[in-house]
Amino acid sequence: MKGLSKLMVVAVIFPFLFLLLFSSVLAQEKAAADIKAELPVLLTSCGQSPGPIQLKAIMTVKRYNVNIVPVLSLFATADTLIALKNAGNPVKTIIIVTGASLKGMGAAGISIKDELERTEKLIAEANKQGILVIGAHIEGLDRRIMGAAEGDNSDELSIDAVCPKSGLLLVRKDGNPDGRFTTISKNKEIPMIEFEKNADLTDILNNLFKKK
C-alpha cells in the first residue's frame, strides 16, 4: 500500500510540476515577444569568439524590414558608449555575444579576466544610459564548457558576466542542453528567445527591431 501511495503522489505531482514549468516558459516567451529593441545597435563580444562577426554577417543580409546593420566593436568599453553619446549618436541597444576563444584572446593580448572587467563596466554604463542589453549565445556547445579544453571554464565565466545582467537572452538551443540559460532566465526573470539555428535569427531580429 505504501508503494501504491507513493505512485499516486508522483502521478499527481509530476503533471503539476510539468505544467508549472511549461507555464513559466510560455510567460518568458510572451515577455520576450513584448520587447522592442531600438537603433542604433552596438555588437560586441565577451571572450573574443568569432560569434560577433558571424552575427554581423547575419544582420547585414538584405532580408530585414529595417536597416539594423550593427556597429561592430569587439573591444567596446564604457568609454565607447560615452563617446558615441557625446557625439550625438547614442547607442540604444547592445548585443553581447557570449563564449570565449583562447585563440582570439591570445591574439589580442588579453585574458578572460580583462574581458570580464571590460564587460562589467560596459554593462554598468549601458544601464546608466538606459540601453537595452541583449545577451546572445549563438555558437552552441562550441562555446560551452562541454566543448572546451579540459580545465577551461572561460566560456561559462563569459556567460555569467553577461546573461544574468541582460534585459533579453537569445540562445541557440543546442547550447542549452543542460538548461543553464533557462535557469538564468527563470531565476532572474529575464525574457529568453530560444532558436534552432542561426538562420532563425533573421525573423527574430526583424521582430525585435520592428518599428513601433
Residue entry with cell 532558436? 195
CATH 3.40.50 fits 35-208, yes or no: yes
Q: Which residues contact 73 (CB under 8 A, 6 or more apart)?
A: 42, 43, 44, 80
pLDDT band at 22 (very low <50, low <70, confident <90, very high): very low
C-alpha separations of 25 from 31, 72, 133, 167, 176 in Å? 10, 32, 21, 16, 14
**How far apart (Å, rounded) are the C-alpha atoms in residues 11 and 8?**
5
Predicted confidence (pLDDT) at residue 75 exceeds the cutoff of 80: yes
**How far apart (Å, rounded) are the C-alpha atoms in residues 179 and 142?**
16
CA 111-113-119 angle, 5° bins? 110
pLDDT at 163: 98
DSSP 48: B
pLDDT at 69: 75
Predicted confidence (pLDDT) at residue 87 exceeds the cutoff of 70: yes
Span 87-107, mean pLDDT? 94
pLDDT tens-place string over residues 108-148? 999 999 999 999 999 999 999 999 999 999 999 888 877 66
Q: Which of 20-24, 104-108, 170-174, 202-206 has the lowest mean pLDDT?
A: 20-24
Span 157-167, mean pLDDT? 97
Q: What residue ranges do the domains of the chain occupy? A: 35-208
Predicted confidence (pLDDT) at residue 28 exceeds the cutoff of 70: no
What is the chain's mean pLDDT, rounded?
A: 85
Q: In what order do the strands lie in the sheet with 41-46?
A: 71-72, 41-46, 93-98, 132-137, 168-172, 192-195
Predicted confidence (pLDDT) at residue 73 exceeds the cutoff of 90: yes
pLDDT band at 65 (very low <50, low <70, confident <90, very high): low
